[in-house]
Amino acid sequence: MDRTSNRYLVLLLLPPKTGAVKTFWTRFGVDMALMGVAIVWGTSYVAAKELTEAASVPAVLAVRFGIASAALGGVWFLWVRRLPGPAELATGVLLGLTQAAVLLLETAGVAQTQATNAGLIISLAVIFTPLVDSAAQRRWLPPGFFAAAVVSVVGVALLVSPQGFRVPNAGDLLMLAAAGVRAVHVTLLSALTRGKPYSSVTVTLIQSTVCAVLALSLDPRGTLSAVAGFGPAQWGWALYLGLACSVFAFLAQLWAVRRTSASRASLLMGTEPVWAVATGLLVAGDRLGWMSACGALLIVAAGCAGQRIEAKFRLRTPTG
């Protein structure tokens, strides 16, 4: 190995209290956490599609967040054991409501379209988030960013029209709505938690519990039927959604977004559609025609370009 490889190997193997490891995690920890979120969320659409073939959307979410809340409750009891104050509780409840809205739209959408389409369309949050973030801070983005947004829309049109242009189906439109609500959620996540002495575990537990209770209230009978009727495969998918895509992803996202901007968080999670496409093609058996493939490339390229433009703009423009 070369000297650079040796240096990173040493950093990974050093005891956790050394300054070198602290430097390593300061530089790369946030990026690695958000990349992990992108991977598990990119692979979540196949899991959600498999489960919605066996149960209703609210029932799937109730099971998913019941698992997540139980796991987070154990983490909270072991490491936190501090009751939230009124502001922390209100923040967790609000974020739970917005997260529930995202996932209800997202899970209903993926049930009615290809997992590949779902992962690509939801990636438009990469474009939507800087727009929402900038509107909240009253800053105008450069014209190039809006050009990237237009290219993204063209990419979606191509993606959903493999045999020629057509009106997007209900699943595609639900995923588009989910992308917009996710942009609001990520912006709120940053605005409400940055610089606050909140416990990431506590806020995430409240958020998850709100999602579970809301989903259960929408279909209590369906949830009981799902719990009784799921086989080993369904429970495997449910555990993956509850533990990896919820517990790990929410904690990692909240921990990381409190140390960076909402826009950078979206940039680093912008590889999510790549994992969604790979999983859809390899696991779910989805197919992409040449027109859909061109649309997929336009969505990913426009998202990357838009985020680069926004990042440079943010560096030049001090926030108030």
| pTM reported for the whole predicted model | 0.76
Phi-psi region of 164 (alpha: psi -120 to 50; beta: other; left: phi over 0): left
CB of 124 closer than 8 Å to CB of 179: yes
DSSP H helices, 123-219, are 125-137, 143-159, 170-193, 200-218
Residues β-bridged to residue 162: 164
- pLDDT reported for residue 27: 55
What is the distance between the alpha carbons of residues 124 and 144, in angstroms, rounded to a whole number? Answer: 16
Buried/exposed 255-266: b ≥16 CB within 10 Å, e otherwise = bbbbebbbbbbb
Phi, psi of 161 (to 5 degrees): -125, 60
The tens place of each residue's pLDDT in the chain, 320 residues long, gives 444 444 443 333 344 445 555 555 555 777 788 888 888 988 888 889 889 999 999 999 999 999 999 999 999 999 999 999 999 999 999 999 999 999 999 999 988 887 777 877 887 787 788 778 777 777 777 888 778 878 887 877 777 665 555 567 888 899 989 999 988 998 888 888 888 888 989 999 999 999 999 999 999 999 999 999 999 999 999 999 999 998 998 788 777 776 776 566 666 666 677 777 777 777 766 676 777 778 778 877 877 777 777 777 767 765 54
- pLDDT reported for residue 307: 72
What is the distance between the alpha carbons of residues 55 and 230, in angstroms, rounded to a whole number? Answer: 9
Of 244, 250, 268, 233, the C-alpha closest to 123 is 268
- pLDDT reported for residue 6: 47
- pLDDT reported for residue 127: 77
Going from the C-alpha of 67 to that of each of 62, 139, 221, 240, 246, the distances in angstroms are 9, 40, 18, 10, 9
Residues β-bridged to residue 164: 162
- pLDDT reported for residue 8: 40
- pLDDT reported for residue 262: 59
Of 234, 207, 208, the C-alpha closest to 67 is 208
